Amino acid sequence: EINDSEGHPSSSHQSLKGTSKWASSLENLLEDPEGVKRFREFLKKEFSEENVLFWLACEEFKKTQGKKQMQEKAKEIYMTFLSSKASSQVNVEGQSRLSETILETPHPLMFQKLQDQIFNLMKYDSYSRFLKSDIFLNHKKSEEQEENSPDAQTAAKRASRIYNT
């Protein structure tokens, strides 16, 4: 394995990072904490932050262990996002709304259908606008400036000297 001057593995086709990764898919964006933060910032301006918050809550819910904890989390998700009185109600199709009775016997995938609806709503609606937004474009620009900074260039030059000797 070849390492650069800082000892990091070097490869000519490094995996996508940052905004490039976010732009490749909504899935990649949602896997990156910084991407989620920027996407939330954008959705807040669009008054639809509840969508990503619901999606994240569902992801967290799937990892919940123990019936009691699941019941509590399920109820919290229901009251926050799905109930007619929810403070951050998500826009899901009426027939797929859950009745409160299902909260008594929760299971990890009980919100999956609704989560998929919200994911698709984000994917085909807000995600494409996010990629054109100032929030995304400014972050991308600052990333590119970092890559082209003198420090980054000198590291690259040092690495090329090491390989070309």
Burial class for 163, CB neighbours closer than 10 Å (0-12, 13-18, 19+): exposed
pLDDT digits (tens, 9 = 90+) for 140-159: 999 988 888 776 555 555 55
Residues 6 or more apart in contact with residue 117 via CB below 8 angstroms? 92, 93, 96
pLDDT digits (tens, 9 = 90+) for 68-127: 999 999 999 999 999 888 889 998 886 455 777 788 889 999 999 999 999 999 999 999
The chain-wide mean pLDDT, for the chain, equals 83
Domains, in order of start, for the chain: 19-126 (1.10.167.10)
Q: What is the pLDDT of residue 96?
A: 54
**From the centroid of its chain, how far is CA 10?**
27
Closest CA to 71 of 98, 99, 106: 106
Torsion of CA 19, 23, 24, 25, to 10 degrees: 110
Q: How far apart are the first and last CA of the chain?
A: 17
DSSP at 2: -
What is the spatial distance between Cα 146 and Cα 151, in angstroms, rounded to a whole number? 9
> Above 60 in pLDDT, residue 133?
yes
Q: Which of 28-32, 49-53, 107-111, 146-150 has the lowest mean pLDDT?
A: 146-150
pLDDT band (50, 70, 90) for residue 39 = very high
59 close to 108: Cβ distance less than 8 angstroms:
no
**Average pLDDT rounded to a whole number, residues 35-43:** 96
Q: What is the pLDDT of residue 17?
A: 79
Q: Which two tokens stand for residue 60?
A: 């967290």
Q: Which of 33-42, 51-60, 106-115, 150-159 has the lowest mean pLDDT?
A: 150-159
What is the spatial distance between Cα 51 and Cα 143, in angstroms, rounded to a whole number? 27
Q: What is the pLDDT of residue 6?
A: 45
Q: What is the pLDDT of residue 163?
A: 56
Q: What is the pLDDT of residue 15?
A: 54
Q: What is the pLDDT of residue 21?
A: 94
What is the spatial distance between Cα 42 and Cα 36, in angstroms, rounded to a whole number? 10
Residues 6 or more apart in contact with residue 152 via CB below 8 angstroms? 146
Model pTM score: 0.77
